Structure 1
Amino acid sequence: MIVGESEGILLQAVRRLLVISDMHGQIDAFNALLEKAEFDASEDLLFLLGDYVDRGQNPKAMVAKARELEKKGAIVLKGNHEDMMEKALIGRKTESLAHWAANGGAQTLSSYGLDFKFVYQNIESDSLKLPDELLDDLSWIEQLNVYAQTEHYIFVHAGIDPDKKIEDTDEETFLWIREPFFSGYHGDKIVIFGHTPTMNLQQSCDIFFGKNKIIGIDGGSVFGGQLNCLELPSKATFSV
């Protein structure tokens, strides 16, 4: 997905770009962060880099918020947790469901009024009927893009393969990669990514500014860190 050409007119009209990732159901913190950054959908272009579901207080509400913001112009990308959710609930395999549950999927099911044990016991049965709201959100997740780029930036959940052209990269890489992206990226565009908590890249939860044009914004808020927002092109930061 290239935010350019016809969208270039849009970029010229916006005041700034704002980027947030890895909300993990923390709807209150996310709303507080938008308020702190003074987000205005009529003036700012918001990029959300995935992981709306799992672990936090209300994944369902976070998905609803992401969808609402998308309708107002936000660029909303898929994360690896949406990928796990998709594989578990659309693929209907106990192994995939167990993998998702081990990474916070039970909290997501609960937010839709479902008990994990019941779903696990019936996931491969035609008798399991998922709520319409959940099915609708799954359809939305299926069509999400895995990266976006502008003239100067690449936005992605986990990173990119430093040795491949972006158009030749598989979806799994965009959603899951860590190394060799961190140390091996050498492209001209700045890559903004989430997925890896920044405390794994430095000694704080603040936004990580790599020397090789990579910027990590996942503050690990669901692990006791903070939720970060990056402003571009100023590189100002906000956190809650």
Structure 2
Amino acid sequence: MQTVRRLLVISDMHGEIDAFNALLNLADYNPDEDLLFLLGDYVDRGRNPKAVVKKARELESKGAITLKGNHEDMMERALTGLSPDALANWAANGGAGTLASYGLSFEAVYRDIRKGSVNLPEDLQDDLKWIQHLALYAQTEHYFFVHAGVDPEKSPDETDEQTFLWIRTPFLNDYHGEKTVVFGHTPTMTLQSSSEVFFGRNNIIGIDGGCVFGGRLNCLELPSGNTYYI
């Protein structure tokens, strides 16, 4: 059985492909020795969402664990539900830039959806299928990995999908479980005075450094607690 040297965790790349690649290099990630967890929000807002999705899929093929974020959820709803409102909501949260990275304009897709159908390029269709099958969480003996957090009053089996993708305050304030929850979604500068990894007193670790907002992209190393950042 393969011995894992380290667990590495990255979240909320948001299209920032250069920072993502640089961080993997800085952390000296080796898929033969390390287990990498990606906690979602590959798309929207940054320079090249399509490239980040491609990189995440490549890393997954080499053993990384890839989870869904709320921005993938918005993307999925916008492009599969044929709802103009869902598309507009996604676009307002960075979706227009994601469409542009696939060579599409928001206006053209919006017109098509209002007509009841949308013709997406094959590469986007393929990535969308991948997004639809992403897991919501992963866990080891000591850690629980998720995009946004968990319901402190429910077990994972009793928790609905939207909670894993969107929860904030109840989880941040009230979680006191035995496993350490490692999460993204909430920029750490809203939890403390910096964009460093946030080590909560209630057994939670937030790693979203708000890279796309001028913060930094963090990588957490476990079990050491060491951090790398760009």
SS at match of 1:123: helix
User: Which residue of the partner structure matches residue 127 of structure 2?
Assistant: 137
Aligned residue type for 2:105: D
Q: Map 1:1-240 to 2 at 5 A.
A: 9-10=1-2, 13-126=3-116, 128-240=118-230
Mapped partners of 2:155, 2:28: distance in 1: 36
1:163-206 per-residue CA deviation (whole Å, 9 max, x = no partner) reads 00111100000000001000100100000000000000000000
Alpha-carbon distance in structure 1 between the residues aligned to 2:87 and 2:184: 23
TM-score by length of structure 2 reads 0.98
Shift of 1:210: 0.1
**TM-score, structure 1 normalization:** 0.94
The CA distance in 2 between the partners of 1:137 and 1:43, in whole Å, is 27
2:215 partner letter? G
Moved over 6 A (4+): none
Is residue 139–residue 145 contact of structure 2 (8 Å, CA) maintained in 1?
Answer: yes
Q: Post-superposition shift, 1:90?
A: 0.6
1:23-52 alpha-carbon deviations (Å, 9 max, x no partner): 001000000000000001111000000000
List alignment gaps of at least 5 residues for structure 2. none
Structure 1 gaps, min length 5? 1-8
Q: CA deviation at 1:128?
A: 2.9
AA paired with 2:159?
A: T
Q: Which amino acid aligns with 2:111?
A: Q
- The answer (yes or no) to whether the contact 2:82–2:116 under 8 Å persists in 1 is no
2: distance between equivalents of 1:203 and 1:157? Answer: 22
**Mapped partners of 1:141, 1:25: distance in 2:** 15
How far the C-alpha of 1:132 sits from its partner, in A, is 0.5
Aligned with 1:35: secondary structure? helix
Q: Which amino acid aligns with 1:68?
A: E
Contact preservation (8 Å) 2:82, 2:117: no
What is the Cα deviation at residue 127 of structure 1?
5.2
**Aligned alpha-carbon RMSD (Å):** 0.8
**Whole-angstrom distance in 2 between the partners of 1:66 and 1:234:** 24
Q: Distance in 1 between matches of 2:114 and 2:149?
A: 33
Structure 1 residue identity aligned to 2:83: K
Identity rate of aligned residues, in percent?
Answer: 68
